[in-house]
């Protein structure tokens, strides 16, 4: 796996010049959901009935995913039944964003700058260093959403996460919502993956929707 779903969401969120995180609140939930979905794709976890179950702890070879897999396993251990995936997303969403940014930095796709606001409060920014991955990502999204190309499973999953978190503006800046939302909705609701993946998507969209609606009203 080259770039994870969580990292792709961060590439869309980070301002290329300033390195600031745009739409942070909704983005946090989408990033955490992206990690879970990649673990579903990797057959390490499943989400059913709103609950998350770990099925295997063998490394995926991706540090961001393996770290979260271990954390989910430890967090869920000893419970009488699998915990709710919404509880995990609520617990991890802020830390997941930081972990995804750090993973991008380690890959050399973004840099890191730190300065102090008012001479006291540290402020970290992550300007883009290598724009190749983001350019390829945006071209892929444009293909499936604007040109109605057939999405592969991971691209469809990414669209579903962005749609659930109402992050349309990050994916398609400058385009009216009416030009992208209907197609993103159809992709989200399509039969593009197995039932286990669709269940995971539905559960994470349910968790993200209230947060996204609050963000949109603010």
Higher pLDDT, 189 or 104: 104
97 Cβ neighbours under 8 A, 6+ residues apart? 10, 21, 24, 27, 28, 31, 32
Beta bridge partners of 53: 46
Structure tokens at 55: 């099925």
pTM above 0.75, yes or no: yes
Which residue bears the tokens 């604007």? 146
Helix axes 5-13, 85-107, angle to 10 degrees: 70
Structure tokens at 164: 């659930």
pLDDT value, residue 214: 46
pLDDT band at 196; cut points 50, 70, 90: confident
Q: What angle (nearest 5°) sits at the alpha carbon of residue 28, between those of residues 211 and 34?
A: 105
pLDDT at 159 over 90: yes
Q: Please name which of 208, 1, 14 lies closest in space to residue 102, comparing C-alpha atoms.
A: 14
pLDDT at 109 over 80: yes
Structure tokens at 199: 């269940």
- C-alpha span between 13 and 32 (Å, rounded): 14
**Is there a contact between 48 and 199 (Cβ–Cβ < 8 Å)?**
yes
- C-alpha span between 112 and 101 (Å, rounded): 10
């Amino acid at each position: 796996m080259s770039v994870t779903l969580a990292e792709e969401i961060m590439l869309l969120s980070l301002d290329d010049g300033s390195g600031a995180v745009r739409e942070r609140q909704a983005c946090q939930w989408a990033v955490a959901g992206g990690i879970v979905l990649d673990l579903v794709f990797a057959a390490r976890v499943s989400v059913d009935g709103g609950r998350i179950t770990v099925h295997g702890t063998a490394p995926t070879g991706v540090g961001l995913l393996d770290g979260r897999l271990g954390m989910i396993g430890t967090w869920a251990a000893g419970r009488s039944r699998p915990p709710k995936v919404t509880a995990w997303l609520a617990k991890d969403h802020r830390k997941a964003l930081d972990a995804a940014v750090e993973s991008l930095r380690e890959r050399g796709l973004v840099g890191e700058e730190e300065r102090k606001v008012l001479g006291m409060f540290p402020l970290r920014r992550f300007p883009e260093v290598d724009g190749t991955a983001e350019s390829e990502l945006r071209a892929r999204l444009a293909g499936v959403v604007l040109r109605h190309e057939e999405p592969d499973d991971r691209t469809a999953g990414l669209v579903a996460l962005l749609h659930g978190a109402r992050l349309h503006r990050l994916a398609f800046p400058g385009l009216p919502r009416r030009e992208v939302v209907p197609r993103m909705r159809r992709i989200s609701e399509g039969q593009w993956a197995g039932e286990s993946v669709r269940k995971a998507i539905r559960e994470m969209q349910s968790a993200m929707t209230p947060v996204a609606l609050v963000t949109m009203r603010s």
